[in-house]
Each structure stands twice: as C-alpha cells, then as structure tokens.
Amino acid sequence: MIGKLQKFFPDSYNRYFEPFIGGGAIFFHLNPENAVINDLNQELINLYEKIRDQPEELMIGLDQLQPKVDSKDFFLETRAKVPRNKLDLAVRTIYLNRTCYNGIYRVNSSGEFNVPFGDMGNPQLYEKKNILACSKVLQRTTILSGDYKKMIRRIRKNDFVYLDPPYVPLSDTAHFTSYTSEKFGGEQQDELSEFCKKLDKKGAVFLLSNSETEFTKKLYENFNCQTIKAARNVAARSSSRTPVNELVVTNY
C-alpha cells in the first residue's frame, strides 16, 4: 500500500505521530527524525522497545529458535508458554509471527495468542540488517502504549498524524477486531472521527485509512475523502483475497 499512499503524504511537517503503529510499514518507510508511536497492544510495543534497546540479544534468542521453525509441537508449546522476561517475550512475538498461519496476530478474549501453526517449510525468523535498521529509527522515537486519545496532548500545529486503525467490517462476517482483547466497533469508530476533528482544530495534518463503507464516508464527510484499491492477502480462502476499495481521508 505504500506506493498508493505515497502521493497523499504531506510534503513537510514537524513531528510524526502514529497512534495505531501495528507493523509500522509507513513509519519505517518515512523514517522520521522526530516521531511518537503508540499501540494498545503491549506485546507489540514491548517488541519495539527490545528492538530499540537490545537488538543483538534479541537476535541471539531468535537464533536459538531457528532450528525449530518446522516443529508444530514446539510451536504449540511456545504459544502456550508465558515468557520469563520481556526479552523472551519479544523473541516469542517474532517467532510466533513468522511461524503462524499467514503471519496473523490475533488474540482471544483473554488476550492469549490463538493463531494456528503455519507449516511454511523453513521460514527465516529475521534479517539482521533489517533489525539493526529498525533499531536505529526507534532510538530517536518516543514509544508509547495505551489509549491513542491521550496523544492529543502531545500533538501540535503542523505535526503529521497517520491513522491506520482497526477497519470497519465490509460484511457481517468480516469482523476481525481481535488484534487486542479490546474490541473496536462502531462506538470506537465514532470516537476516532471526533479525535480527527480535534486534530484539525489544533492545526495538525492527518491521513487516515479505513474501509470504504457508507458508515465511514458519513463519519468523514467534512474532510477530503478519496478511494484507492487495496489487496487483501490474509483471507482464509485464496478466492477471498481480491482487491477492495479503501478510503483515504485527509484534512489537507
């Protein structure tokens, strides 16, 4: 999606904010000099902190797991085990992501990772050059974990905020909101649109991605809305992995 979103990024801005950092594709692509990232998923934030602070130790831990990437039994054992410390938790996060089905991150109502084994042959758990490059960017980044709405106090005029929240479902059965044990439904989407209005009043610029539905178009009707085609690569059936319309919202 980076190529399609590139034309929407502002030419200049002060600080970069990303309240729903997720995999951080846009953040790492833009490589900002002064950034604040946040996510409600504390396990993900722990991973970013360990990549920033202990990249070498993290890679040593992953090297120890590399010979076991083909073992379903070891996967299930690791998935069920509570790590001893935050470094082990970060190692586990990458291991599960690289060996689970379709690389999905999903938890149950108790916050436990519940994606099945991927059986992908011999996946490589990491690339050293990538870990070190990510570590370098994160060392000049403020990393937060919590309710994104609290970030409003930090954001000032001419800051750029990129919002990639849990998407509005395109159908009654497409209700994937289990990235954390907290749900992100209609009420939360309403709150997010109000957050965007506050950003606009502050003089910050924002870009938001979401599903193109009548609901989202209504939420953001007072801003600039454009449609792009987005691929869907994690559907259970390959026949469902077809391009869909995605809404890009900006206030500039």
Residue 92 has a pLDDT of: 98
Question: What mean pLDDT is predicted for residues 213-237?
Answer: 86
Residue 232 has a pLDDT of: 63
Residue 178 has a pLDDT of: 47
Burial class (CB in 10 A: 0-12, 13-18, 19+), 36: buried
d(CA 125, CA 69): 8
pTM of the model: 0.90
- pLDDT tens digit sequence for 99-155: 999 999 998 888 899 999 999 999 999 999 999 999 999 999 999 999 999 999 999
Question: What mean pLDDT is predicted for residues 72-78?
Answer: 98
d(CA 67, CA 57): 17
- pLDDT tens digit sequence for 37-53: 999 999 999 999 999 99
The position carrying tokens 């953001």 is: 220
Which CATH number does the domain 45-132 belong to among 3.40.50.970, 1.10.3720.10, 1.10.1020.10, 1.20.1060.10?
1.10.1020.10
Residue 109 has a pLDDT of: 84
Assigned CATH for 2-40+146-250: 3.40.50.150
Q: Rounded to 5 degrees, what are φ and ψ at 136? A: -65, -45
On the question of pLDDT at 30 being above 50, the answer is: yes
What is the rounded radius of gyration, in angstroms, for the C-alpha atoms of the chain?
19
Residue 174 has a pLDDT of: 45
End-to-end CA distance of the chain: 20
Domain boundaries, the chain: 2-40+146-250, 45-132
Inter-residue contact 243 to 232 (CB < 8 Å): yes
Instruction: Quote the Cα angle for 232-99-139, to 5°.
Output: 85
Residue 12 has a pLDDT of: 96
Question: What mean pLDDT is predicted for residues 69-92?
Answer: 97
Q: What percentage of the chain reaches a pLDDT higher than 70?
A: 91
Q: Is the dihedral of CA 90, 56, 53, 85 positive or negative?
A: positive
Mean pLDDT of the chain: 92
On the question of pLDDT at 177 being above 60, the answer is: no
